[in-house]
Chain A
């Protein structure tokens, strides 16, 4: 069968279904990383103590923040893995081109990001149940209602998808030349430590605040969709050009 016989979307769809089945190991890694997040959260994500006259007070707070952070790192690294040569070579067994391969990768990343986002918010429930069973003190409920929980899942999915888009671009750039590992790492470390040398301004914190401090959900979603579209497009363009060159 030739590519001409198959539309781009049909080729992407077939590769996407293949990837969903073939990359099952990434799901195992997701479970592992979330369990690790639960373990790290078990002592409380925001423990605070206070001692005054006659009162020695310790407050332990449980939430799925660390689990989400770990899941974001998982999404970032999973996306990088997809751009590596062994994974790209698997696509050669399919009728299609690099564009259909990239589309399949993006669809795969969006799918697993959705599952990861939902699981990361729900895993907070498992953490709270375990905390209530293990600790002697009652665990007070400061959580919002179920409507907010579903909203939280949606937002978590968007954050994880954004991380995967960034990982996909980073992976693509690194595939061009290994020197970019050093350059990107240097850039990241530079952004981390630039604050004292830049009159207290940090581009990294500004970037995080651009998404993290947005309080209007539709605007937040638009920002993430736009950013992810740019990152995925850039990554796809890089991978296409690279394959044409080689």
Chain B
């Protein structure tokens, strides 16, 4: 499209020059005129080409937030975690086995697993994937990172991970704008490890034979 646009501008200016409507004494006029027209059109049209989803400012960011999340999960449980940090939820009903076996499926991804033993034997396993969405320069990209998946097959709860290759492109203001708007000159990229929080029915024992899986029971 941009090539078509350039072609149209050049053809238009050429025709006008040939008919004598506009006259160019030097090549420099041509070059400057076409370039100026091109940057002007691009500046007006640029919102059409950029991603149209409105970006959300991150409320909290930084490593402390991950530590706070970890601490809250281990001490107070999932009930104290704000919804914005719950990246995915799972419910597995009618679980009537005595043992729940955790298994990793996919490439190795470090995840902290917390297990909460419920007081009721309601046959319901609930799983929560907790973490901070990717933040870049203070903006949240909630869908950029694919959360860990949980799948229950018989008495085995599979933790499904995938290798993710992410490419993010962003257009930001130039330095003369940033100097007076308080926008950062240092790019700030933040992504945390994901944590898994499981609520298992009373009487269900959780175990694993997978050496890459570590889990902790929450404080009761």
Write the residues of chain A forming the contact surface with B, with a CB cutoff of 8 angstroms.
24-25, 27-28, 30-31, 34-35, 44, 46, 48, 50, 52-65, 67-68, 119-126, 128-133, 135-144, 148-149, 151-156, 159, 212-215, 217, 220
The answer to the question of B1 belonging to the interface, with a C-beta cut-off of 8 Å to chain A, is: yes
Q: Contacts A53-B108, A140-B50; is A59 near B164 (CB within 8 Å)? A: no
Q: A28 to B30, alpha carbons, bound, how many Å? A: 9
Find out whether the CB atom of B32 lies under 8 angstroms from the CB atom of A27.
yes
For B168, give its contact among A59, A119, A213 (CB under 8 Å). A59
State in angstroms the CA–CA spacing of A154 and B169 once bound together.
Answer: 27
Q: Which chain A residues lie closer than 8 Å to B31 at the CB level?
A: 27-28, 31
What are 29 A-B pairs at a CB distance below 8 A?
A31-B32, A54-B106, A54-B108, A54-B162, A59-B136, A59-B170, A59-B187, A62-B171, A63-B173, A63-B174, A64-B174, A119-B35, A122-B40, A125-B39, A125-B42, A125-B43, A125-B46, A126-B38, A128-B46, A138-B51, A138-B169, A140-B141, A141-B50, A142-B139, A144-B181, A151-B177, A153-B176, A155-B176, A156-B174
> Is A141 within 8 A of B2, CB to CB?
no
Asked if B169 contacts A140 (CB within 8 A), the reply is: yes
CA distance A215 to B180 in the complex (A): 5
Closest-CB distance, A139 to chain B (whole angstroms): 4
Q: Are A34 and B50 in contact (CB under 8 A)?
A: no
Chain B residues closer than 8 Å to A58, beta-carbon distance: 166-168
Q: How far is the CA of A13 from the CA of B36 in the complex (A)?
A: 26
Binary per-residue interface labels of chain B (48-87) against chain A in the complex, 1 for a CB within 8 Å, 0 otherwise: 0111010100000000000000000000000000000000
Q: Complex formed: what's the CA distance from A57 to B191 in Å?
A: 10
B14 in the interface, Cβ–Cβ < 8 Å?
no
- Name the one of A24, A55, A57, A60 contacting B29, with C-beta atoms under 8 angstroms: A24
B187 contacts A123, CB within 8 Å? no
B residues in contact with A126, CB < 8 Å: 38-39, 42-43
Nearest CB to that of A26 among chain B residues?
B28
User: Known contacts A63-B174, A68-B174: does B168 contact A57 (CB below 8 Å)?
Assistant: yes
On whether the beta carbons of B173 and A143 are closer than 8 Å, the reply is yes
Write the chain A residue with the least CB distance to B172. A142
Knowing A28-B32, A122-B42, the reply to whether A61 touches B166 (Cβ < 8 A) is: no
Q: How far, in whole Å, are A35 and B6 apart by their CA atoms in the complex?
A: 14
Q: Is the CB of A59 within 8 A of B1?
A: no
Contact B187 A143, beta carbon cutoff 8 Å? no
Closest to B46 in A: A125
Q: How far is the CB of B56 from chain A (nearest CB, A)?
A: 11
Contact B55 A140 (CB under 8 A): yes
Chain B contacts for A139, CB-based, 8 A: 49-51, 169-171
Residues of B within 8 A of A59 (CB): 136, 167-170, 187, 189
Name the CB-closest residue of B to A121.
Answer: B174
Query: Could you tell me the distance between the alpha carbons of A56 and B166 in the complex, rounded to whole angstroms?
Result: 6
Which of A24, A119, A122, A152 meets B177, CB within 8 Å? A152
Q: Which residue of B lies closest to A152 (CB)?
A: B177
Q: A44-B169, A217-B180 given. 7 additional CB < 8 A pairs?
A: A31-B31, A55-B163, A132-B50, A138-B169, A139-B51, A153-B176, A212-B175
Interface residues in B77-100 (C-beta closer than 8 Å to A):
none
Task: Let me know if B47 is at the binding interface, CB within 8 A.
Answer: yes
Task: Give the complex CA separation of A193 and B32 in angstroms.
Answer: 39
B49 engages A148 (CB within 8 Å): no
Q: How far is the CB of B119 from chain A (nearest CB, A)?
A: 34
